[in-house]
Each structure stands twice: as structure tokens, then as C-alpha cells.
């Protein structure tokens, strides 16, 4: 028997429903290789796996879902694989943006978008404009993103704009790509790996972490709900006594 999906009211406690969930969607290539297929097939299946997780996040009342879609290090992959990933991004936005807009989901990005191909940037500009007025949930796509790069870019912007003002945590946070968003409460990583992989290093300072052994194409809403239930059972102390 499948466990019953929790509603927001089922989760209980002040911190039960995370406001912001971040996901490292890992394991697409391995999933395909285990089936004797090319890695790019795994990426296509991984894109398919994202849609039901977005829907489930919205249903549970999560405010922000940030997904690690393409890192600054991913440029080291074979050119064909990178081209496929960029094509899948354009395809995903073309197919899913109208439905996301109708469901109240706003598309946002973090990372150095200027380095992406023109087709990807045009698609992102269109998708963000189409969903700009939506307020139910933010789908935050991390593209050409690396946390160290983000922090360096933030410090450089501060030096350019306001170097005369002492740099505080609050000030730096305002220059990060995630400015205006709450920090993640929960980080989920698929594929059983125990690494942050240069993802949201500043923002994840007090996040709870859930490691799933499922490779990303097999990560489904039931596994997502398991992560939320695990989060709900924890007591967050933020460095204090408890």
C-alpha cells in the first residue's frame, strides 16, 4: 500500500512545511548507462521527472523550489552533451511555461546566464516575462551556476556600488543571485552522493539535508514526500541549544 500523501496541514509544527526546497538533481547519466543507453537519454528522462516534483511542491505550499540544472563545471562535459542539455532547457520552457503560468508559478534563474547560448537566453527571457506576475510559487532554475562564482560576483558588485559601506552578512545577501528569497530550509540530493557540489554554499548554512539513493529520473513525488516527512520530524536549532 502506498503511503498517503501529506497535505500541508498534516505536516504539523511551525517549521513543518519548508518554505524553500533546493534539489541537486543527480544521476541522470548513470541512470541511462545502467540501461545501456547514452547519457543524454538520462538527461531527457531527468527533465520529465522534474514536472511532477514542481506540481507536488506547489500542492504542498512550498514557496520556492530551486533546482540545480547546469553548473559552472558542467561546461567540461562533451560538447554534444552540453548541446543536448541546452536544447532540453529550451524544450522544457516552451512546453511547460504556459502551464506553469496557469498554475501560478513564477520562473526565476540564478547563475551567470550571459554565458548560455542565445537560444537558451531568449527562452529564459520569454519564460520569465510570461510568469513574472505569478505569486503562488517560484521555480528557481540554477543555470551556469556555481556558489563560489556567485559569491565573487556579489562581492564585485558590492565593490562597484557600495564599497564605502561596511560589508555585513545582510549586505552581501542582497547582492547574491537569491536576493529577496528565503534561504533553503531543506536540501535534497538524489543518487546517494554526499556532496554539495558548489551549490548555494552561502544559503545552505542552516539547511537540513536529505540524501536519496534514487537516481534523479526515478525520483518521484512519493520520494519527495518522504524527504518532506523526514524534514518535518527534525528539530531545527540554528546553532542554539535544544
- Residue 48 confidence (pLDDT): 97
pLDDT reading at 9 higher than 50 = no
Angle at CA 11, nearest 5°, toward 227 and 200? 40
Pseudo-torsion of CA 239, 179, 120, 221, nearest 10°? Answer: 40
- Residue 109 confidence (pLDDT): 98
**Rounded mean pLDDT of 21-42?**
96
pLDDT reading at 10 higher than 60 = no
- Say whether 26 is catalytic: yes
> Which tens digit of pLDDT belongs to each residue from 165-200?
889 999 999 999 999 999 999 999 999 999 999 999
Strands across the sheet containing 208-211: 105-110, 137-145, 64-71, 20-24, 186-189, 208-211
pLDDT reading at 12 higher than 60 = no
Out of 10, 15, 38, 74, the active site residue is 74
pLDDT-based confidence at 15, cuts 50/70/90?
low
- Say whether 83 is catalytic: no
Q: Where are the alpha helices (DSSP H) in the chain?
A: 28-34, 39-60, 79-102, 118-130, 147-162, 169-173, 221-232
pLDDT reading at 6 higher than 90 = no
> Which tens digit of pLDDT belongs to each residue from 107-164?
999 999 999 999 999 999 999 999 999 999 999 999 999 999 999 999 999 999 987 8
> Which tens digit of pLDDT belongs to each residue from 45-63?
999 999 999 999 999 999 9
CA 144 to chain CA centroid, nearest Å: 12
Contact between 187 and 24 under an 8 Å Cβ cutoff? The reply is yes
Residue with cell 562597484: 160
pLDDT-based confidence at 7, cuts 50/70/90?
very low
Q: How many helices (H) and strands (E) does the chain have?
A: 7, 6
pLDDT reading at 19 higher than 80 = yes
C-alpha count within 13 angstroms, C-beta hemisphere, residue 157: 14
> Which tens digit of pLDDT belongs to each residue from 220-242?
999 999 999 999 998 776 665 55
Strand, coil or helix: what is 143?
Answer: strand
Q: Which of 68, 60, 199, 203 is nearest to 137 (CA)?
A: 60
- Residue 1 confidence (pLDDT): 32
Could you tell me the domains of the chain?
16-146+183-232 (3.40.1180.10)
Strand, coil or helix: what is 222?
Answer: helix
Residue with cell 523526514: 230
Out of 26, 177, 183, 185, the active site residue is 26
Strand 64-71 to 20-24 pairing:
parallel
- Residue 128 confidence (pLDDT): 98
- Residue 182 confidence (pLDDT): 97
pLDDT reading at 72 higher than 80 = yes
**Rounded mean pLDDT of 34-53?**
96
Amino acid at each position: 500500500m502506498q503511503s498517503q500523501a501529506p497535505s500541508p496541514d498534516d505536516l504539523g509544527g511551525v517549521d513543518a512545511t519548508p518554505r524553500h526546497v533546493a534539489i541537486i538533481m543527480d544521476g541522470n547519466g548513470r541512470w541511462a548507462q545502467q540501461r545501456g543507453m547514452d547519457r543524454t537519454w538520462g538527461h531527457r528522462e531527468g527533465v520529465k521527472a522534474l514536472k511532477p516534483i514542481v506540481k507536488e511542491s506547489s500542492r504542498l505550499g512550498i514557496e520556492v523550489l530551486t533546482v540545480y540544472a547546469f553548473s559552472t563545471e558542467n561546461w567540461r562535459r562533451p560538447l554534444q552533451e552540453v548541446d543536448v542539455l541546452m536544447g532540453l532547457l529550451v524544450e522544457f520552457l516552451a512546453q511547460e511555461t504556459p502551464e506553469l503560468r496557469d498554475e501560478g508559478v513564477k520562473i526565476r534563474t540564478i547563475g551567470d546566464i550571459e554565458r548560455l547560448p542565445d537560444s537558451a537566453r531568449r527562452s529564459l527571457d520569454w519564460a520569465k516575462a510570461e510568469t513574472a506576475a505569478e505569486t503562488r510559487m517560484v521555480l528557481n532554475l540554477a543555470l551556469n551556476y556555481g556558489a563560489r562564482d556567485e559569491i565573487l560576483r556579489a562581492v564585485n558588485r558590492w565593490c562597484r556600488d557600495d564599497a564605502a559601506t561596511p560589508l555585513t552578512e545582510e549586505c552581501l545577501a542582497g547582492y547574491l543571485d537569491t536576493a529577496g528569497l528565503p534561504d533553503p530550509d531543506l536540501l535534497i540530493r538524489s543518487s546517494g552522493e554526499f556532496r554539495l557540489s558548489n551549490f548555494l554554499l552561502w544559503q545552505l548554512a542552516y539547511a537540513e539535508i536529505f540524501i536519496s539513493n534514487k537516481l534523479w529520473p526515478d525520483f518521484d513525488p512519493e520520494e519527495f514526500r518522504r524527504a518532506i516527512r523526514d524534514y518535518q520530524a527534525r528539530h531545527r536549532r540554528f546553532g542554539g541549544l535544544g
